């Protein structure tokens, strides 16, 4: 049996008991729960990843809802414990929910929330940052300087890749993939090739259709009017076409059975010898063992990784690769985004407790994040609404807000 875990309690006499398995950024999410008569208990245990037993101890005998993290294993044991404690709501503080057995939640009638709509730009920014850092060998150069090895300018010292006029490849041109593509096209005047099951019409129009700041021009036309080479776009017929043609490739697919090890030994071999591969999506879309071998054999091939196949661990040899930039899953780690994720997760749980309807568009959540007005009386995003009962599938189309 797990030992009792350390907690911090807010509003101890609140009617509803809501547990957060980790301290989360900001205080707005706490205040929103308190203002709706919730007792908020935050686990402060000095432990990076809580075990199932730890979380069961946190849930206890009475718990109305839990806010959890993507590092936790939310399966039958936890949903059973939450249901027995009277709980009907769980929300990941994440857009992904690969750590959640949604079928188990359905069996126990527990709503599962997530936090889309708030990570797009910040995730795309990190992908762009890794692209530039890899192209210009920033991390290698930084270590060189800190190691006291710099003795003066040399013609061949850390020569990297120029991005302007090169081709950026995007695999998965959804919200994040498209935002990344726009940053690279507009910021570095790169040409675009993308692969997606669905046509990214808005992205295409950005490159060669209507360009919003200058309605008479596309971005490509704007460049041409200023005496520069216009950028182009191409929708590839296959992922391999992107891998063959692009100089920088960023991965933005969902993770499922079809995308596991999407980039493997054979597909790495298709890429250019000096290509750059970036992954801020899900770790298992890359065969990490094959990647390490490819990095060893191709020293000018570079990679920027925010996620890993067996997170938090890296496959043997990856940490030793100078042509690899590795960061600890920080794509969403901007203050505004992380505080927004905490708010959305809290409002998912609160909304189920209060019996609120579901917001009409989980990717349009600005109304929940406006600190100058109360949030709408709604659940921002519930992924299993239909499965847990018709009474919880009403879609909110008005903008009624919580009253305090």
Q: pLDDT band for 225, please (50, 70, 90 cuts).
A: confident
Confidence of residue 213 (pLDDT cuts 50, 70, 90): low
Taking the CA atoms of 33, 39, 43 and 44 in sequence, report the sign of the dihedral they define.
positive
Answer yes or no: do 96 and 229 share one domain. Answer: no
What percent of the chain is modeled with pLDDT above 70? 93
- Tell me, what's the pLDDT at 208? 84
Q: For residue range 15-24, list pLDDT tens digits in order.
A: 999 999 999 9
Q: Using one digit for the tens of pLDDT, what is the confidence trace for 357-390?
A: 999 999 999 999 999 999 999 999 999 999 987 4
Same-domain pairing of 104 and 139: no
Whether 403 maps to a domain, the answer reads no
On whether both 344 and 223 belong to a single domain, the answer is: no
User: DSSP for 222-281?
Assistant: HHHHTTSPPP-EEE-SSHHHHHHH-SEEEE-PPPSTTTTT-B-HHHHHHS-TT-EEEE-S
Q: Under DSSP, is residue 113 helix (H, G, I), strand (E, B) or coil? A: strand
Residue count of the chain, please give it.
Answer: 404
Q: How many domains does the chain have?
A: 2
Q: What is the mean pLDDT of the chain?
A: 93
Token duo for residue 351: 């909304």
Residue 2: predicted pLDDT: 54
Q: How confident is the model at residue 223 (pLDDT cuts 50, 70, 90)?
A: confident
Confidence (pLDDT) at 109: 97
Task: Give pLDDT, residue 403.
Answer: 46
Each residue of 292-323: pLDDT tens digit? 999 999 999 999 999 999 999 999 999 999 99
**What is the separation, in whole angstroms, between the first and last Cα of the chain?**
41
Judge whether 43 lies within some domain. Answer: yes
Residues 124 and 15 in one domain: no
The confidence score (pLDDT) of residue 399 equals: 46
Q: What is the pLDDT of residue 371?
A: 93
Catalytic hit among 182, 267, 282, 302? 282
Question: Do 147 and 283 lie in a common domain?
Answer: yes
Residue 84 lies in a domain: yes
Please say if the pLDDT value at position 102 is more than 80.
yes
User: Does the global pTM surpass 0.85?
Assistant: yes
Q: How many CB atoms lie within 10 A of CB 263?
A: 26
Segments forming the whole domain that contains residue 143: 120-326
Establish whether 329 is a catalytic residue.
Answer: yes
Band of residue 398 on the pLDDT scale cut at 50, 70, 90: very low
| 217/78 same-domain check | no
Q: 90 and 138, same structural domain?
A: no
Average confidence (pLDDT) over 269-288: 97
Same-domain check for residues 294 and 168: yes
Q: Is 17 a catalytic residue?
A: no
CATH of the domain at 192: 3.40.50.720
């Amino acid at each position: 049996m797990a030992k009792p875990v350390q907690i911090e309690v807010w509003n101890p006499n609140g009617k509803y008991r809501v547990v957060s398995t980790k301290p989360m950024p900001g205080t707005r999410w706490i205040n929103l729960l308190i203002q709706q008569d919730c007792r908020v208990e935050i686990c402060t245990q000095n432990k990076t990843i809580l075990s199932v037993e730890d979380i069961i101890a946190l849930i206890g005998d009475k718990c109305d809802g839990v806010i959890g993290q993507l590092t936790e294993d939310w399966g039958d044991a936890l949903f059973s414990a939450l249901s027995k404690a009277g709980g009907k709501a769980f929300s990941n503080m994440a857009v992904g929910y690969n750590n959640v057995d949604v079928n188990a939640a359905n069996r126990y009638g527990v709503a599962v929330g997530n936090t889309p709509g708030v990570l797009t730009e910040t995730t795309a920014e990190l992908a762009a940052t890794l692209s530039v850092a890899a192209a210009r060998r920033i991390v290698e150069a930084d270590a060189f300087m800190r190691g006291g090895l710099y003795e003066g300018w040399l013609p061949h010292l850390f020569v990297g890749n120029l991005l302007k006029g090169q081709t950026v490849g995007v695999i998965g041109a959804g919200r994040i993939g498209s935002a990344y593509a726009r940053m690279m096209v507009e910021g570095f005047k790169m040409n675009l090739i993308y692969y997606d099951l669905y046509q990214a019409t808005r992205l295409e129009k950005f490159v060669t259709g209507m360009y919003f700041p200058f309605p008479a021009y596309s971005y490509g036309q704007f460049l041409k009017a200023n005496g520069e080479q216009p950028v182009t776009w191409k929708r590839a017929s296959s992922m391999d076409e992107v891998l063959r043609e692009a100089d920088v490739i960023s991965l933005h697919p969902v993770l499922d059975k079809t995308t596991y090890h999407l980039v493997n030994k054979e597909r790495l071999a298709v890429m250019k010898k000096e290509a750059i591969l970036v992954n801020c999506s899900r770790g298992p879309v890359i065969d990490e063992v094959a990647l390490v071998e490819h990095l060893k054999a191709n020293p000018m091939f570079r990679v920027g990784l925010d996620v890993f196949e067996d997170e938090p661990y890296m496959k043997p040899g990856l940490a030793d690769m100078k042509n690899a930039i590795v960061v600890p899953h920080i794509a969403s780690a901007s203050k505004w985004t992380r505080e927004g994720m905490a708010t959305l997760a809290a409002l998912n749980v609160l909304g189920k407790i209060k019996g609120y309807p579901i917001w009409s568009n989980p990717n349009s959540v600005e109304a929940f994040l406006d600190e100058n007005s109360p949030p709408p009386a709604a659940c921002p995003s519930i992924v299993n609404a239909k499965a847990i009962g018709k009474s919880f599938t009403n879609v909110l189309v008005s903008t009624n807000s919580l009253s305090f």
